[in-house]
Chain A
Amino acid sequence: MLTDLSGWTIAAVVVLGVLSVAGGIAVFVVDSMARATFALLASFLAVAGVLLAFDLVYLAVVTALMMTIEMAIMAVFMIMFMMNPAGLMPMTMVHNARGSALTGAVAFVVLVVGIWTVDWPIGRTERPEDSTRQLGEAIMGSHMLVMLMIGIGLFATILAGTVLATARGRYDRFGADLAAKRPDDPIPGGLPR
C-alpha cells in the first residue's frame, strides 16, 4: 500500500499530519477564541494538504474551501458568544481537564489498536484517471438517494435554523394580518419587500 507512494509524498504526509495534530492541540492551548478558531482552520488546511499529497485534488481543494468558509463563520459566532474573544484576559479553553484527558487517552488507545489490528482491505482497483469524475458518477448514480436525503435535511436545517435564530418573523414585519405593504425592519434591505 505505502509502496505506491513516493518518498516525497510520504514525507509530505508525515509533516502535514504532524502539523494538523499540532493545530488540533493548539485549539485547546491558546486562550483566544480567534486563535482557537484559526488553529482549527490550520489543522484542516494541513489535512487538505495530506489529501493533495495523495493526489485527491478535488477532495483536498473542497476541504480547504469549505473549512475556510466554515471556520470564518465559526469565528463570527465564537467571538459573538464566547467570553474573552481576543484572549486579552487570562482564561483556559478546557474544563474538566482530568476527565477529558482520560477520555482522550482511552479513545486514542482504542483507535490505535483498531488501526493496527483491523485487517484492512487492499485496494484492488486501478486508481482512477480522474477522481472528480468518479465522485460525480458516484453521487449522481449509486448514491443519489443519499444526496436527496441530504437535500431534505438541509432544507429542514434552513427552516429550523432560521426559526431558532431570528427573534422576529413575518408577523412582526408585516403586521398580524400580513397586510403591511412595506415591512417594518430595523435595517432596510436591498429590495422593497
Chain B
Amino acid sequence: MLAVLSLFALVGALVATLYGASSLMAIARRATDVMPFESGMLPQQHAASRYHARWYAITILFLAFDMEMIFMYPWAVVLADMGVGAVVEMFGFLAVLLVGVVYVWREGALRWT
C-alpha cells in the first residue's frame, strides 16, 4: 500500500521534473498557440462535436460480458478447492453469454454502422 503510494509519488515527481526540465531546456518556454492541424487547411468547425461512434452496438455486449469478469478472477483463485462443480458452473455461465455473442454476430452488430 505504502509502496504503491510512494511509487505513485515518485513517478508523479518524475513527470513534474520532466515538465520542469522542459521549461528550462525548451527553446521557448511558452507553448505556441496554433490552430488544430487539418492537413494544411484551417479548420472550419470545432472538431469536438457530437462524435458519431460507429460501434456503439458492441459496447452493450462488451459491458455485459465485462461484468462477468468480477466473478471470474475470484473463481480462478478458488477453483482448485471447489473442484469440477465450479468449472461446470462458470463455463455454463460463459456458454450462455456466448450464445448472446452468436446472436449479436448474426444480427451484424459486431460490424460498424
Contact = CB atoms under 8 A, between A and B. Distances in A.
Contact of A158 (B50, B100, B111): B100
A91 B72 CA distance: 43
B108 A185 contact: yes
Interface stretch (B14-22, B23-31, B32-40, B57-65): B57-65
A162 B107 contact: yes
A166 B1 contact: no
Interface in A77-95: 77, 79-83, 85-86, 88
The number of chain B residues touching the other chain, given as a range, is 35 or more
B89 A154 contact: no
A187 B111 contact: yes
A58 B50 CA distance: 36
Contacts of A85: 48-51
A165 B109 CA distance: 9
Contacts of B67: 66, 150, 154
B74 A139 contact: yes
Interface in A157-173: 157-159, 161-163, 165-170, 172-173
**Which of B65, B74, B82 has the most C-beta atoms of chain A within 10 angstroms of its own C-beta?**
B74
Contacts of B96: 151-152, 154-155
B41 to A, nearest CB: 20
Contacts of B107: 162-163, 166, 168-170, 173
A188 B113 CA distance: 9
Of all A-B residue pairs in the complex, the 6 with the closest CB atoms, nearest first, are: A136-B74, A161-B60, A86-B48, A136-B78, A158-B100, A189-B111
